[in-house]
Amino acid sequence: MNKLRPVGVIGTGKYVPEKILTNKDLEAIVETSDEWIVSRTGIQERHIAAPDQATSDLAYEAAIKALKSAGMKAEDLDLIIIATVTPDMAFPSTACILQDKLGAKGAAAFDLSAACSGFVYGLATATSFIKTGIYNNALIIGVDCLSRITDYTDRNTCVLFGDGAGAVVIGEVPEGRGFQSFDLGAEGAGGGLLKLEAGGSRLPASADTIENKQHYIYMNGREVFKFAVRVMGTATVDVLEKAGLTKDDIDLFVPHQANIRIIQSAMQRLDLPEEKVVINVNKYANTSAASIPLALVEAAEEGRMKEGDRILMVGFGGGLTWGASVLVW
Ligand code: UT7
């Protein structure tokens, strides 16, 4: 992959809705406690989209900032990929809705469905387009409004999720920088562990699907936890090997923010000190496709990476899927 032109991040932006839902707020809604949520997940609060905000609205805010930071106009974009499992609607795609809102007239646009791994899948897809010369640049946004598909009577899931968007513009970068490797994978056999069953061609929306709460996230938390710990380890090893690097070469680790305990187990395996790990699950909870870009962009805004730093992103999620990448900043 490195024989082709180097492709990396040239602009970043993020957005979270204003409204904050704290653990204390949730104590008033379901049988839970701040102590349980913090000790089992590390989450303290999450942001929730306003009633009139849809996924494309969150994406728009992050996109505007990413374009500004790249010094680009929307018309300059060749490609828009939105990674999400909560599109505004089934179709048109949220990417097409955003293309119109931005006025990105020259851009191809599509949505990508790989749940929490979607952003890394999107980076790999767009990088391939640019490396092969089909396009020169792309806007990739990981964005989800999980609050819209969360059952706020189910304490097993409702404490875990939040809304947000993280965006990057990618394009050609100087030699030696940019994406060094990707490791994407799927285990479809585990799909039933984390799903939203109804509203598609298998189970179209009906009074029954509403009655049975099949328009909400279902998750077998314990099994997904085991999968997560396993693939965070294997994907990290594989993506480092593909880049010809070892764990000691990594300056910043940007993991999917689902549960602090999953992040800590990866830190232990890699023997990484906390200052090399981006953690914001406490503020945003699990924002699905937005999780890795929110962490990446926040770290960039806080000045945590400098030119030439090696960054390892790794995530896992519904599908089941995983995705990892090594990026030289
Ligand atoms: O983005 C990808 C997706 N998801 C994930 O990465 C999630 C992976 N899984 C997890 O993070 C964890 O499995 C959870 C946070 C979901 C659950 O933590 P756990 O330590 O695996 O708890 P558990 O499922 O073993 O449940 C322990 C107990 C249960 O009670 P019993 O059956 O032992 O009496 C639950 O009913 O905790 C109970 N419980 C709660 N108690 C208070 C579950 N949710 C809550 C809650 N408040 N919100």
pTM of this prediction exceeds 0.85: yes
Is 282 among the residues known to form the active site? no
Residue 249 lies in a domain: yes
* Burial class (CB within 10 angstroms; exposed 0-12, middle 13-18, buried 19+) of 17: buried
**Residue 270 Cα to ligand 1 middle (Å):** 25
Same domain for 195 and 168? no
Q: Is the CB of 218 under 6 A from ligand 1?
A: no
The mean per-residue pLDDT over the stretch 221-240 comes to 96
Boundary residue ending a domain (176, 192, 224): 176
Beta strands in the chain (DSSP E): 7-15, 19-22, 45-48, 79-83, 108-112, 137-145, 163-172, 178-186, 194-195, 218-219, 252-255, 310-317, 321-328
Task: Catalytic residue, from 47, 96, 256, 259: name it.
Answer: 256
CATH number (domain holding residue 225): 3.40.47.10
Q: What is the pLDDT of residue 171?
A: 98
CA atoms within 13 A on the CB side of 54: 13
Tell whether 138 and 262 lie within a shared domain: no
Q: What is residue 269's predicted lDDT score, i.e. its pLDDT? A: 85
Q: Whose CA is nearest to atom 20 of ligand 1?
A: 40
Active site annotation includes 256 = yes
Residue 2 counted as domain residue: no
187 shares a domain with 168 = no
Q: Is the minimum distance from the CB of 117 to ligand 1 under 6 angstroms?
A: no
Residue 128 domain flag: yes
Q: Whose CA is nearest to atom 35 of ligand 1?
A: 156
96 is annotated as an active-site residue: no
Q: Please tell me if the CB atom of residue 317 comes closer than 6 angstroms to any atom of ligand 1.
A: yes
The domain tally of the chain equals 2
Predicted confidence (pLDDT) at residue 180 exceeds the cutoff of 90: yes
Q: Tell me the per-residue pLDDT of 34-75, one tens digit each, with 9 for 90 and over.
A: 999 999 999 999 999 999 999 999 999 999 999 999 999 999
Range of the domain at 266: 179-328
**Catalytic position from the list 96, 116, 145, 158:** 116
Separation of 221 CA from ligand 1 center, angstroms? Answer: 6
319's CB contacts (< 8 A; 6+ apart) are 114, 115, 117, 186, 187, 188, 190, 191, 194
Q: Strands, DSSP E only, in 134-177?
A: 137-145, 163-172
pLDDT of residue 235: 96
Q: Which of 143, 176, 209 is the last residue of a domain?
A: 176
Q: Encode pLDDT of 243-300 as tens digits.
A: 999 999 999 999 999 999 999 998 998 889 999 999 999 999 999 999 999 999 999 9
Domain co-membership, 16 together with 165: yes
State whether 185 and 65 are in the same domain. Answer: no
Does residue 20 sit in the same domain as residue 61? yes
> Mean pLDDT over residues 132-157, rounded?
98
